[in-house]
């Protein structure tokens, strides 16, 4: 099976195919850090002890991931609430997901759809 040739990064480093240059990784980490500094903390976004209690009850009633059927560990908001507390607490907007489907599958869907 043919292998793609290495590429030259904008910083001048030679990078093997299907890998990322250290400068790209560092740039992405810095961008994430800047974003996190502007984002309200979890408590201010509504994830309080009351949320934890409700989420545990929801997962007990809905134990399987909606996407893959594995045991669910995360209560996900189907439509991102973006600070709208009415939407945040609307149980019709909740779905049980496993960690993988929440952190990988759902996030890539939202990124692709521009949500």
Determine which helix (DSSP H) or strand (DSSP E) holds 101, and give its type and residue range: none
Residue 19 lies in a domain: yes
Residue 103 lies in a domain: yes
Number of domains in the chain: 2
Task: In whole angstroms, give the CA distance from residue 88 to residue 51.
Answer: 10
The answer to whether residues 84 and 46 touch, using CB atoms and an 8 Å cutoff, is: no
Q: What is the pLDDT of residues 68-98, one digit of tens each?
A: 999 999 999 998 888 888 999 999 999 999 9
Q: What is the pLDDT of residues 22-60, one digit of tens each?
A: 999 999 999 989 988 887 777 777 788 999 999 999 999
- Residue 20: give the domain boundaries: 7-38
Task: In whole angstroms, give the CA distance from residue 115 to residue 102.
Answer: 15
Q: What is the pLDDT of residue 48?
A: 86
Residues with Cβ < 8 Å from 65, sequence gap 6 or more? 71, 72, 96, 97, 98, 101
3-class secondary-structure state, position 7: strand
């Amino acid at each position: 099976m043919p292998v793609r040739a290495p590429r030259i990064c904008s910083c001048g480093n030679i990078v093997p195919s299907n890998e990322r240059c250290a400068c790209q990784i560092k740039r992405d980490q810095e961008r994430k850090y800047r974003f996190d500094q502007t984002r309200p903390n979890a408590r201010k976004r509504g994830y309080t002890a009351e949320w934890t209690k409700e989420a545990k009850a929801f997962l007990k009633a809905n134990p399987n991931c909606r996407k893959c059927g594995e045991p669910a560990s995360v209560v996900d908001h189907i439509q991102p609430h973006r600070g709208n507390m009415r939407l945040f607490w609307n149980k019709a907007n909740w779905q049980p997901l496993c960690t993988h489907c929440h952190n990988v599958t759902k996030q890539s869907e939202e990124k692709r759809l521009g949500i």
